[in-house]
Amino acid sequence: MIEREFIIRNKVGLHARPASLFVQTAKKFKSKITIRKEENEVNAKSIIGVLSLGAEKGDRVVIKIEGEDEREALKEIEELFNTNFGEDNEDN
């Protein structure tokens, strides 16, 4: 099992398009993947669950991955966070 904390840095947080990208990425893997914000933990493969977190810019989330392809899943999820989900991110 791998657990990693990320800070959301893109302007809109995990809403609409970024959440969809996150869920699509999670669904590519067999591993169980969850995302937690504060005390709320949801299935990372559920768009409704991810959106229900209300994760905004500056929030900390914890991704937990458990399964045979967990390292590959973490690598792709890290890339999403590191590239701000493909969004330009000015400080405004």
Q: Which domains does the chain have, with CATH numbers?
A: 2-86 (3.30.1340.10)
Q: State phi, psi for 76 to the nearest 5 degrees.
A: -70, -35
Which positions are annotated as active-site residues?
Answer: 15
Lowest mean pLDDT among 10-14, 24-28, 37-41, 59-63: 10-14
What is this structure's pTM? 0.92
pLDDT of amino acid 92: 42
Mean pLDDT on 47-64: 97
pLDDT at 82 over 80: yes
Report the relative pairing of strands 40-43 and 32-37 from DSSP bridges: antiparallel
Average pLDDT, the chain: 94
27-36 pLDDT per residue, tens: 999 999 999 9
